[in-house]
A and B are shown apart, each in its own frame.
Chain A
Amino acid sequence: MASSSSSSSTQVKKITLKAADGKHFEVEEPVAMEMETVKSFFVGNEDAMKDMVVPLLNVSSEHMPAILDFYRNHSEFRKRTPPPPAEEVKAFNEAFLENKSDEQLMEMIMAANFLNTKELLNFLTEAAANRIKNKSVEYVRAFFGIENDFTPEEEARIRAENEWAFDGLDED
């Protein structure tokens, strides 16, 4: 996986972020500024960057390295000319999602929402959608933790109305 975090010898300004569980992360300023939540923290208060610790209340330290890695790579993808080949972006994205459980994915969705970064949020929600799009209704209930509150008759009727949509599902 491509993680090209700048070495400590470079002059890039760092910002300290504090994850929900108290762990600190020193992050290069441009990477930190990918997060709207962090950016807005410093609006009109740019001097504070040196010594301020930004609390990220909804982001667990477990997910911070992956999330930062996403920002680093995707901002590099955006800036590069010519743009990176689609396969390279795809390979990074696939590696990013590999071995992530549904639960981890959901936690990261909430983190991305809190950090207010559309790119990451869209990427993660799309990944979640891909995990369920060919799955059964029962699978989706379990995925979201939703209870079936239809009566058997009601459920049979609504299924019949959408019968065509039940073809060709993946196994749960």
Chain B
Amino acid sequence: MSYLPPEFFNEILWALPVKSLCRFKSVSKKWPYLISDPHFVKTHLSRAQTLGRTRLLADGEIVEVYSLGKNSRTSVKSGFLFPNKYYKMGFLVKVGVYLNGTIHWAFEDLDGSCVIAAFDLVEEKFKTLPPPDNVLEGDCRYTLGVCGRYLYLAADKSDCLKEFCVMLEYGVKRGSLS
């Protein structure tokens, strides 16, 4: 059996989701360096974007943040905490929503308030967006989506109340209920 020369490894690794990359850091001593190399991370990101698969795309950015790039990991922690379950299932990736070069998540904070977290792909920074005024809170499941150029937030409260908000201008809270 002949193998691929090492100079081709990157060509394949660039096409992998981040979950696989994190696992494959255990392949050999060289691989963590291969995978954390800034050039690798950049290429992986742009490659993930050209693949045009939204989920993969989200894959890319997120873990580049909290797993492949150490700095951003700190800023996640200082700003807010993603719910634990998101990590466990590799879920963080799946619930992220892409708009305007930014990935967004919505979830309930520890104190029950609504958090809309955003990761700016250009600045490679996390921030939070102000949630819509009077959004339903407490035992709520939040779901984000994109409709055209707008981000919308659906809140599903355990007592059956449901709410749907469209964030009209990016980063500006505007609620419209139904």
Q: Which residues of chain A have a CB within 8 Å of any CB of chain B?
A: 103, 106-107, 109-110, 113, 121-122, 125-126, 128-130, 132-134, 137, 140-141, 144-150, 154-155, 158-159, 161-162, 164-168
Contact = CB atoms under 8 A, between A and B. Distances in A.
Interface residues of B, number: 31
B29 A162 contact: no
A129 B4 contact: no
A127 to B, nearest CB: 9
Contact of A106 (B2, B15, B26, B27): B2
Contact of B25 (A106, A126, A158): A158
Interface in B82-103: 87-90
A21 to B, nearest CB: 15
Nearest to B87: A164
B28 A149 contact: yes
Q: Is the interface of A mostly helix, strand, loop or mixed?
A: helix
Interface of B: 1-5, 8-9, 11-17, 19-20, 22-29, 32, 51, 67, 87-90
A166 B20 CA distance: 8
Given A129-B12, A133-B16, A150-B29, A144 B3 contact: yes
A164 B4 contact: no
Contacts of A145: 1, 3-4
Given A109-B4, A162-B22, A166-B23, 6 more contacts: A113-B11, A125-B12, A133-B17, A158-B32, A162-B25, A167-B88
B15 A137 contact: no
Contacts of A133: 16-17, 20
Contacts, number: 92
Contacts of B12: 109, 125, 128-129, 132
Contacts of A129: 12-13, 15-16, 20
Most buried by A among B9, B28, B32, B87: B28
Nearest to B9: A144
Given A144-B3, A164-B88, A159 B14 contact: no
Contact of A158 (B13, B26, B90): B26
Nearest to B8: A109
A146 B27 contact: yes
20 contacts: A103-B2, A113-B8, A113-B11, A125-B11, A126-B15, A128-B12, A129-B15, A132-B20, A133-B20, A137-B23, A140-B27, A141-B27, A141-B28, A144-B4, A144-B9, A144-B27, A154-B29, A164-B19, A165-B23, A167-B88
